[in-house]
């Protein structure tokens, strides 16, 4: 998570949406860089609302905008699957080394996700809170130009993004029945991504 105090902007770090590259590029311009532990680096809206928003409010910044990036759901799951194939996870319950992408998605769309498919939900990450705390600017991961343009304009900087934390390349093949089940069981994820007008202020 990155906090730009003067610009009154918080950039949440949704996992598997390039957040590490943005932290590297924008860290020197941020008032606060939350890079550890992962639970705070990747703080969703509900955790931001609990731990960070009250502090900002007390410092007179009750008008902070909150931005987040959402990735197309199949691509997002593919990034998780590839990441968890890395050798350093071999032998751990979260490893996907001997699991096909199709099997991974089947498990993700199931009722009880095994550890290797328990990667959360982007829709839950950005779910508004009852007190009104919410994301005010949503961007599609696939529309990097709009995101970069927004950040450059808002922060008055020029961005040169490095490649960070890139998962190994691997084909993402889904059986039609598996993709249909994913779209049915996880419809909220697709509805969220389909409904994004990248960068447009929400509300």
State pLDDT tens for residues 152-177: 999 999 988 776 556 566 678 899 99
Please name the residue that has the structure tokens 């997002």.
76
pLDDT confidence bin for 29, thresholds 50/70/90: very high
Q: Which residues of 180-199 are buried (b: 16+ CB within 10 A; e: fewer)?
A: ebbeeebeebbebbeebebb
Q: Is residue 82 part of a domain?
A: yes
Cβ proximity of 125 and 45 under 8 Å:
yes
Q: Is residue 61 part of a domain?
A: yes
Looking at residue 173, what is its pLDDT?
87
Q: List, in sequence order, every residue forming a beta bridge with 138; answer none if it has no partner.
A: 68
Q: Is residue 201 part of a domain?
A: no
Looking at residue 165, what is its pLDDT?
58
Could you tell me the two tokens for 199? Answer: 């960068």
Q: Is residue 162 part of a domain?
A: yes
- Which range has the top average pLDDT, 16-20, 87-91, 120-124? 120-124
Q: Is residue 65 part of a domain?
A: yes
Q: Is residue 202 part of a domain?
A: no
Q: What is the pTM of this model?
A: 0.92
Q: Is residue 119 part of a domain?
A: yes
For residue 95, give its domain range. Answer: 2-194
Looking at residue 183, what is its pLDDT?
97
Q: What is the mean pLDDT of the chain?
A: 93
Looking at residue 55, what is its pLDDT?
94
Give me the mean pLDDT over the 174-188 stretch: 97
Q: List, in sequence order, every residue forming a beta bridge with 139; answer none if it has no partner.
A: 69
Lowest mean pLDDT among 3-17, 121-135, 152-166: 152-166
Looking at residue 166, what is its pLDDT?
60
Can you give the CATH number for the domain in which 15 is found?
A: 3.40.50
Q: Is residue 200 part of a domain?
A: no
Looking at residue 171, what is its pLDDT?
77
Give me the mean pLDDT over the 13-32 stretch: 94
Helix (H, G, I), strand (E, B) or coil at 73: helix
Q: Which residues of 93-103 are buried (b: 16+ CB within 10 A; e: fewer)?
A: eebbeebebbe
Cis peptide preceding 37, ω within 30 of 0: yes
Q: What is the pLDDT of residues 41-82, one digit of tens each?
A: 999 999 999 999 999 999 988 889 999 999 999 999 999 999
**How many whole angstroms separate alpha carbon 78 and alpha carbon 27?**
27
The structural domain count of the chain equals 1
pLDDT at 133 over 70: yes
Cβ proximity of 71 and 17 under 8 Å:
yes
């Amino acid at each position: 998570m990155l906090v730009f105090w003067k610009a009154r902007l918080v950039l949440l770090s949704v996992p598997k949406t390039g957040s590490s590259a943005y932290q590297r590029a924008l860290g020197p311009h941020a008032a606060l860089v939350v890079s550890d532990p992962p639970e705070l680096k990747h703080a969703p809206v509900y955790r931001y609302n609990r731990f960070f928003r009250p502090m900002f409010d007390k410092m007179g910044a009750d008008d902070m905008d909150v931005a987040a990036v959402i990735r197309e759901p199949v691509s997002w799951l593919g990034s998780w699957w590839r990441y968890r194939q890395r050798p350093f996870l071999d032998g751990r319950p979260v490893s996907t080394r001997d699991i096909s992408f199709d099997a991974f998605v089947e498990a993700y769309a199931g009722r009880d996700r095994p550890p290797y498919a328990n990667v959360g939900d982007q829709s839950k990450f950005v779910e508004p809170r009852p007190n009104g705390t919410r994301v005010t600017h949503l961007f599609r991961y696939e529309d990097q130009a709009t995101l970069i343009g927004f950040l450059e304009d808002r922060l008055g900087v020029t961005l040169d993004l490095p490649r960070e934390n890139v998962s190994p390349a691997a084909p993402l093949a889904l059986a039609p029945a598996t993709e249909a089940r994913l779209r049915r069981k996880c419809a909220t994820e697709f509805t969220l991504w389909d409904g994004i007008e990248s960068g447009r202020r929400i509300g």
